[in-house]
């Protein structure tokens, strides 16, 4: 029982360390000396506005970190109850890690805006697929290994989804549609003098 607790704590620490490796800070941009102006029209960032080296570094670390964590979780779950029937937990993780390392990883770290966009889309899709496999494992009536680790895997997959989709939106690779904001009526309130 103590060995299981130590393994669980060890894997949790591995998850925390691997997922926090992608959190880096970008160097500060030039100081803005004039106040910002707001327009009703959305503006997309141009390729010159985005430092693709920073995007490649941060998103690449997140991409490879997700691959390592999902594969580590699957290997740990399989090692808790090794059997041919339980080997099915290795399939989604192995396929996901292969796609993240061999396909989206080189695209994200390429420095080409079109390739980075495609790589982020692929990584976002892989994180959705991973999340679905973890939900299926959690919904199963019986699991040879503990479901808590699959729940942590689901949290990591959700974090991967939000991280990759945030990179797509914030860095200007995808522009979300905007709706015009209607003007609200003005109500003049009586003033009270004391």
The 10s digit of each residue's pLDDT in 153-174 is 999 999 999 999 999 988 888 8
What band does 138 get if pLDDT is binned at 50, 70 and 90? very high
The 10s digit of each residue's pLDDT in 118-131 is 999 999 999 999 99
**Contact partners, residue 62, CB within 8 Å, separation at least 6:** 22, 123, 160, 163, 164, 167
Is the CB of residue 59 less than 8 Å from the CB of residue 121?
A: no
* pLDDT number for residue 4: 54
Count of alpha carbons within 13 angstroms of residue 87, beta-carbon side: 3
């Amino acid at each position: 029982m103590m060995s299981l607790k130590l393994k669980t704590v060890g894997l949790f620490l591995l998850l925390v360390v691997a997922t926090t490796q992608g959190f880096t800070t970008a160097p500060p941009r030039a100081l803005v000396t004039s106040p910002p102006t707001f327009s009703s029209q959305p503006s997309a960032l141009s390729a010159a506005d985005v430092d693709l080296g920073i995007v490649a570094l941060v998103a690449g670390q997140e991409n490879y970190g997700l691959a390592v964590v999902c594969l580590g979780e699957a290997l740990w779950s399989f090692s808790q109850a090794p059997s041919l029937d339980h080997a099915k937990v290795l399939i989604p993780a192995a396929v996901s890690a292969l796609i993240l390392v061999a396909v989206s990883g080189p695209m994200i770290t390429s420095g080409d805006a079109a390739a980075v966009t495609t790589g982020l889309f692929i990584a976002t899709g892989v994180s959705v697929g991973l999340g679905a496999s973890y939900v299926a494992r959690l919904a199963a009536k019986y699991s040879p290994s503990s479901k808590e680790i699959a729940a942590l895997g689901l949290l990591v997959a959700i974090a991967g989804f939000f991280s990759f989709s945030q990179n797509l939106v914030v860095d200007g690779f995808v522009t979300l549609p905007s709706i015009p904001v209607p003007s609200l009526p003005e109500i003049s309130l009586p003033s009270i003098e004391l």
